[in-house]
Amino acid sequence: MQKKLTIQDIARLAGVSKATVSRVLNHNPSVATDLSERVMRIVQEYDFVPNITATGLAGGRTRLLGVLAPPLTWPAVPEIMRGVAAYIEQTKYEIVLYSVSFDRDHSEVLDGILAMRMVSGLLAIFPGNLSPHLMTRFHTGLPLVMIDDRQRPANIPWIGVDNVASAYKATKHLLDQGYRRIAHLHGPESYCCATERYEGYCQALRDAGIEPDPELHFQGNFTVPSGRQCAELIFAREKSTWPEALFVSNDQMAYGVLEVAEERGVRVPDELALVGFDDNLLSLHMRPPLTTVRQPFFEMSSIAIEVLLKMIDPDHQLAEEQKGDTLLGLDGISYDVTSDQPVHIQLPTNLVVRASSGTARTLSIGP
């Protein structure tokens, strides 16, 4: 069996440097025509398939992008990764996925990844406790884009949604349905998105002439069990003191509320209307189907990858025929990666109204 050639072998056979081979394989126009033809003759003669990592390293830049993500069991991650893949497959780049738990300090893991010089840039998805370390890396030259909901946008490229406006619209929907005693199940205090959603809820109530009632404020942690705990607290009270409706800071906690309601025979929405936030895949299949704020996770990650590629290569752009219907939402977004100010993009969300709060319809929410 013929030995598999390396980029070093191609360089030796063509009588050029490894860097020249890398530039030819990456279609760099700076290589002289005769040298390029010489390298390609060797490539074709030996049926050489370049190793994307080695080729990039030889030329000083790889065509690999790192994606740092929480465990793939997180509800939003599959849709986010679908958006990443849909964009990447239109380019000459590939991705390397690193899945870690961000509840612990993995700064040494991150340093090890970057020390290998395998990736030209990094997309960090909900990085949690790694955020400060990532910011340091960004300010020392690492091309980096963050999809985050824990901290407010800092001096770093960031993609997210307008949580205040989205929560306001969700709460106003309940007000428009005629509810006045509207409770809120708050997410973790350490998450910026949870605080902003509570802010939008309070603002909507106050604009309707209703002062938020501390007795209708419940604390959760974005998990199903904390939703169950909230529901148990509500249904343990005298029925006359129950809220008429409940705006929940994420869908996972809303699932817990629905579970307890079904166990206790509480009719949703007749006895308690319910609105969540995220529109996870299961939300449509709850009993009853859950009214919720749909976050554009697919578009969010597609735009994040585009911003990252623009940082690595300012001339990067997809051909018009490559954009297609799979990348909806990219055309209306403007940003400048060369500006002194970091790119901060807030995407619009949609309120998807289902049976848990009323007649099904969809309302657009601008940023």
Burial class (CB in 10 A: 0-12, 13-18, 19+), 30: exposed
Q: Confidence class of residue 59 from pLDDT cuts 50, 70 and 90?
A: very low
- What is the arithmetic mean of pLDDT over 338-357? 89
Q: CATH assignment of 64-147+297-347, given 3.40.50.2300, 1.10.220.150, 3.90.870.10, 3.40.50.300?
A: 3.40.50.2300
pLDDT at 115: 67
pLDDT at 188: 95
Report yes or no on whether pTM surpasses 0.85: no
Q: Among 305, 296, 246, 294, which residue's Cα sits nearest to residue 271? A: 246
Q: Which amino acid is at 326?
A: T
Sheet holding 64-69, edge to edge: 94-99, 64-69, 121-125, 144-147, 158-161, 344-347
Q: Which amino acid is at 185?
A: L
The residue extents of the domains of the chain are 1-29, 64-147+297-347, 163-295+350-365
User: Under CATH, which number does the domain 163-295+350-365 receive?
Assistant: 3.40.50.2300
pLDDT at residue 58 tops 50: no
pLDDT at 111: 75
pLDDT at residue 214 tops 80: yes
pLDDT at residue 44 tops 60: yes
pLDDT at 56: 52
Rg of the chain over CA atoms, in angstroms?
25
Identical fold between 64-147+297-347 and 163-295+350-365: yes
pLDDT at residue 318 tops 80: no
Q: Among 126, 128, 124, which residue's Cα sits nearest to residue 113? A: 124
User: Of 68-72, 209-213, 271-275, where does mean pLDDT reach its minimum?
Assistant: 68-72
245 compared with 101, residue with greater pLDDT = 245
User: Of 59-68, 274-283, 308-317, where does mean pLDDT reach its minimum?
Assistant: 59-68
Q: Tokens 């977004």 sit at which residue?
A: 333
* Strand duo 158-161 + 344-347: pairing: parallel
Q: pLDDT by residue (tens digit) across 146-157?
A: 998 888 777 889
Q: What's the token pair of residue 30?
A: 């700076």
Query: Do 254 and 292 meet the contact criterion of CB atoms below 8 Å apart?
Result: yes
Mapped onto helix, strand or coil, the DSSP state of residue 35 is: helix
pLDDT at residue 82 tops 90: yes
- What is the arithmetic mean of pLDDT over 214-230? 97
As a whole number of angstroms, the distance between CA 142 and CA 268 comes to: 49
pLDDT at 28: 67
**CA torsion 79→80→85→88, rounded to 10°?**
150
pLDDT at 324: 52
Q: Confidence class of residue 322 from pLDDT cuts 50, 70 and 90?
A: low
The DSSP output letter for 151 is S
pLDDT at residue 53 tops 80: no
As a whole number of angstroms, the distance between CA 321 and CA 298 comes to: 20
CA-angle at 247, arms to 231 and 282, nearest 5° = 80
**CA torsion 210→214→220→221, rounded to 10°?**
90
Q: pLDDT by residue (tens digit) across 106-139?
A: 677 677 767 667 788 999 999 888 888 888 888 8
Query: Do 304 and 145 meet the contact criterion of CB atoms below 8 Å apart?
Result: yes
Q: pLDDT by residue (tens digit) across 227-265?
A: 999 999 999 999 999 999 999 999 999 999 999 999 999
User: Of 8-17, 184-193, 250-259, 327-336, where does mean pLDDT reach its minimum?
Assistant: 327-336
- What is the arithmetic mean of pLDDT over 55-82? 79
